[in-house]
Structure 1
Amino acid sequence: MTQQGVRWTADQVLALAPDAPSRKAGSKLGVAGPWSEAGSSGEGTVWGLCKGSGSKPYQTVVDITFAGDSAGPAYKCSCPSRKFPCKHALGLLLIWAGQDGTVPEGEPPAWADEWLTARRKRAENKASSAPSPAAAAPGAAHRRAEKRAERITAGVTELEQRLSDLLRGGTAAAEQAGYGQWEETAARMVDAQAPGLAARVRELGAIPASGPGWPVRLLEECALLHLLDQGWLHRDGLPDELAATVRTRVGLPAQPQGPPVRDHWLVLAQYDTADSKLTTRRIWLYGTDSGRTALLLSYGAAGRAPALTLPVGLALDAELSGYPGQLRADLGEQFTTPAPTRLRPPGVRVSEATAHYGEALRKDPWLESHPVTLSEVIPTPHKETWQLTDPDEDLALPLTPAASARPGLWRLVALSGGAPLTVFGECGHRGFTPLAAWPKDAEETVPLC
């Protein structure tokens, strides 16, 4: 059920679309005309029949309770589309969000109830059949972990020699050497079962072709790689939290630790990054009771959207399980259907934001950026880029070059209109990336990415 009778907005519905063509097609179906027998239940389900090109209408049902696999809303439609959600599911949610009486509350028809019942039964069976961690063979797991650690140590030692050779020969030679040698080194790190190191080596290999100022950036990345190598080699002498960070950065899998935290989590931002093999979705949450900021990660194969979707501006009563030394968390049991909220996280001034980033670097020296909510800042142009200015402190945070090139920048400028506003984003050594904003008297979260 939606919170206090408030339903999702059209923007939040369209944020579920897997691509731009789906958003366009779904918008066309977001009117009452093609729909019949549409309805919704207080348990967070919506259903309806959509007239298509065939003689039979498409049966469409959406479960927005995030039940079962906790991967986001679930969809079922009799159309042949392979996209999830399909245009019919998007159109159905749009007319539901319109609150014009087209989707009254009631009991689901048999065809919708059958799917909903089966979905919940699968979730119950999955939960009851989940193996206990204690059931694993501890001896075999320990031996595998020791063997992998030995491989990583060998890879780290080889990488240290490779960095020494680079610095001994001079960084000027790196531009002529080309990318091939670094790709070979990255492949050796993969063989050493250290995918985190492999990724950083590939990034290092691309720096000489990255434009003016590359020698400085190359030295910076070499220093960070050297620090990570030394952290691994001396991990037994590190504090537990920092040692866990080193293991994660090298590429060892981590597991959530400690009891889950139940809170009312605000969805602050959601955005995707993609490479040739993988699409990564990042979702930032803020707990109104705990004051914690958490990051949910979801992955999809190249060209496919990740399963987990939480539109910006929603709030959910749920449990999160955190990872040691990280802001990352896993979404656990959810107790209510996510619903729009007028709440926002408390903000800090620019000086506090940079201090928070510095403290985060102490715990994780390889951290690119840290989430922060800035209050009372104004987007202002500065030379060829933009910055967020705190007029009271007479301080400013520059936007990252990537943020200055995004369409969301102009949305942010328009929202401000020269007046202070609250902005959530990621603060790092390259600048600030705005992800969401709230004008002074606004009630809704405005996504910027």
Structure 2
Amino acid sequence: MAERWSAEQVVALAPDASSVAAGRKLAVPRTWSDAGASTAPAAVWGLCQGSGKTPYATVVDLAGPAFRCSCPSRKFPCKHALALLLLWAGGDVPDVAEPAEHAREWLSSRAERAARTERPSTAAPDPDAAARRAERRRARVADGVADLERWLHDQVEQGLTGSDRAGYGPYEQVAARLVDAQAPGLADGVRNLATAAASGEGWPARLLDELALLHLLVRGHARLDTLEESTAAVVRRRVGEPERQQDVLAAPGLRDRWQVLAQHDTVRNRLVVRRVHVRGEATGRDAVVVLFGPPGQPLDVPLPVGTVVDADLHVHPGDPTRVSVGERHGDPAPLREVRGTTLAQVADAWSGLLAVDPWATAMPVVLGDVTPVRRRDGRSRAWVVVDAAGDTLPVVFRDDPWRLVAVAGGRPVTVVADRTVAGVRPVAAWCDDELVPL
């Protein structure tokens, strides 16, 4: 049997704290029947008795990991999958040779889909047709960019007065035209204008900043042929040029022992966005694996949180912080130690990223030995993290600060976070040899 996970690794997969609490309540053998675990395929399954007559059928593909449960929950993994994994981690799920029928059907369908994806196409590509499609797309994008530039000039000439009362409608109309022009990145930029205009006190400065960034992107696209390739790749990505996963994986990979430190989901443009934070043990490089999916549909976990994976990661063109998982060299090992960087080093890295990508809004970081402190900022009090050198950074919390404050307990801790324009947004902490999601 594959090495069992620790309870900390299981908890790190949870979408929120309430799922952890609910999963722990269900992680008792009497709640489960027909539970088992197998090596080939590497999976755990079981039936969890709920309030109804029919128990919930739960399966976890450990190789993903990926999850399936017959319960109506929209969380992935749901409380039943977490409970089953906690039982397995505690040694309360027996090893068996073959999966149960409901588990076998789902695992077989996953294997078949994976085989179809890996099977090379027998149809010979038509380079002329591909070139014609690419040229038509370039023409549509160029027309959309030209229309957007005229619209931006109109906004500045007319002035910003009243923009905070205009609502989202006018911006959404422009964004819809850009989507039709196959420039979804520019459409997102226009939607950001609406958000800035409705952001309350100080909105004119924020709206003007967003207008300037969008205009810079438009001008950069007009000069694509004169830009360095690295800068041109950033501009193409920000405009919304599609990329193929096979092209990303075809580029040389970065091999390291990658620490898998955090996973969190957000909803953006009616899509669930999953970010998995990783850090190279040898290189000290921080990166994220990003997945997208419709709400209510399960997203795979590309790397199990709380482990160290020897693997090749491939950097996406135009996005030095995003990677995709390539070849793996062995099974995941338990995470033993996490070391971060100083706030001064984070500041240098953030400046370097903005020099390459002025439109960047987030960068994965690991802050070493920082303490959360509440300090007076004008008339209010704001949270910051301070390191041993006395450097500070503002903290932007997704929910409330108290979980990080409780984990730290007034002591320095290592914090996994996203460096954003407003400060650092914590997603996990390493404290007392334990990885704690925030």
Shift of residue 258 of structure 1?
0.8
CA deviations over 1:348-381 (Å, ceiling 9, x no partner): 2111111110001111110012222221221110
Structure 1: how far apart are the matches of 2:343 and 2:17? 36
Partner of 1:65: 63
Give the aligned CA root-mean-square deviation in angstroms: 3.1
| Cα contact 2:61–2:107 (8 A) shared by 1 | no
Structure 1: how far apart are the matches of 2:408 and 2:79? 34
Structure 1: how far apart are the matches of 2:148 and 2:222? 12
Structure 2: how far apart are the matches of 1:319 and 1:329? 10
Structure 2: how far apart are the matches of 1:116 and 1:336? 25
User: Which amino acid is 2:349 matched to?
Assistant: H
CA deviations over 1:252-301 (Å, ceiling 9, x no partner): 11231513344432222211221462221111122324443332222222
Structure 2: how far apart are the matches of 1:104 and 1:200? 52
- Could you list the runs of 5+ residues in structure 2 that have no partner in the other structure? none
Structure 1: how far apart are the matches of 2:53 and 2:425? 50
CA deviations over 1:29-80 (Å, ceiling 9, x no partner): 31011334544345532244555678887765432012xxxxx3244x6x57
SS in 1 for 2:132: helix
User: Which amino acid is 1:324 matched to?
Assistant: P
SS in 2 for 1:328: strand
Partner of 1:122: 112
SS in 2 for 1:181: helix
User: Which amino acid is 1:207 matched to?
Assistant: A
Partner of 1:238: 227
Partner of 1:422: 414
Q: Does 1:216 align with 2:210?
A: no
Distance 1:117 1:33, change over 3 A: closer
User: Which amino acid is 2:90 matched to?
Assistant: G
Aligned identity (percent) is 44
Distance 1:388 1:52, change over 3 A: closer
SS in 1 for 2:417: strand
Q: How does 1:217-366 map to 2 (within 5 A)?
A: 217-255=206-244, 256=248, 257-275=250-268, 277-308=270-301, 310=303, 312-326=305-319, 327-334=321-328, 336-338=330-332, 340-344=334-338, 346-366=339-359
| Cα contact 2:13–2:305 (8 A) shared by 1 | no
| Cα contact 1:245–1:324 (8 A) shared by 2 | yes
SS in 2 for 1:378: strand
Q: Does 1:399 align with 2:395?
A: yes
Distance 1:193 1:117, change over 3 A: closer
Partner of 1:157: 146
TM-score w.r.t. length of structure 1: 0.84
Q: How does 1:167-186 map to 2 (within 5 A)?
A: 167-186=156-175
- Could you list the runs of 5+ residues in structure 1 that have no partner in the other structure? 67-71
Correspondent of 1:98 among 90, 103, 107: 90
Correspondent of 1:434 among 410, 422, 426: 426
Query: Which piece of structure 1 moves more, 354-363 or 316-325?
Result: 316-325
Structure 2: how far apart are the matches of 1:105 and 1:246? 52
Structure 1: how far apart are the matches of 2:408 and 2:18? 30
Partner of 1:69: none
Q: Does 1:377 align with 2:370?
A: yes
TM-score w.r.t. length of structure 2: 0.86
Number of aligned residues: 427
